[in-house]
Amino acid sequence: MPDHQQDELEKRKEELKTYHQELIQAHFQEDLDFFTRDISQDYFSVSRAEIRHPSEKEIREQFKNYLGRTSFREYKDLQEPIIGISRDGSLGWSLVRVRVAGDQEGEDGSMADLDFTCAWITLFERQGEKWIRLGEVSSF
């Protein structure tokens, strides 16, 4: 592979690494727009043995509820994210493992400790000059 192509793939890997860091910050900053920015119209989510195709509105409501009830003390990588790019640069993925800790308000208004480890893969497609999130598969 020519050096300029390899350089472009490395640049795209860095973009996905930056995306992941922005995702962590979006949790602390309660940035609802981040979670619906640049998602595919056919976005999918696989979690808890279910395959879903949530709408942008559903994703926004889910994070509005989650972030509005949660105060994070910690949201950090437990290992360096694994970032991959297809040879032609059109597809990308990130595999991450994070630890999350904080406080969360329950439906009854009581506060509970939040403490979990989660791993997931996010799939991306390159469209023009940006990445579009195709979907995520998570494991709690």
| Confidence at residue 90, expressed as pLDDT on a 0 to 100 scale | 96
The predicted-structure confidence for 79-124, as pLDDT tens digits, reads as follows: 999 999 999 999 999 999 999 999 999 888 899 999 999 999 999 9
Give the right CATH number for 3-139 from 3.90.25.10, 3.50.50.60, 3.60.40.10, 3.10.450.50: 3.10.450.50
Half-sphere exposure for 107 (CA within 13 Å, toward CB): 0
The pLDDT tens digits for 36-82 are: 999 999 999 999 999 999 999 999 999 999 999 999 999 999 999 99
Q: What is the pLDDT of residue 49?
A: 93
* Contact (Cβ atoms closer than 8 angstroms) between residue 118 and residue 138: yes
Amino acid making up residue 139: S
Residues 6+ apart with CB under 8 A from 71: 102, 103, 104
pTM: 0.91
Rg (CA), the chain: 16
* Of residues 80, 77, 68, the one with CA closest to residue 29: 68
Work out the angle at residue 137's Cα, subtended by the Cα atoms of residues 136 and 140, and round it to the nearest 5 degrees. Answer: 125
Q: For the chain, which residues make up each domain, given as ranges?
A: 3-139
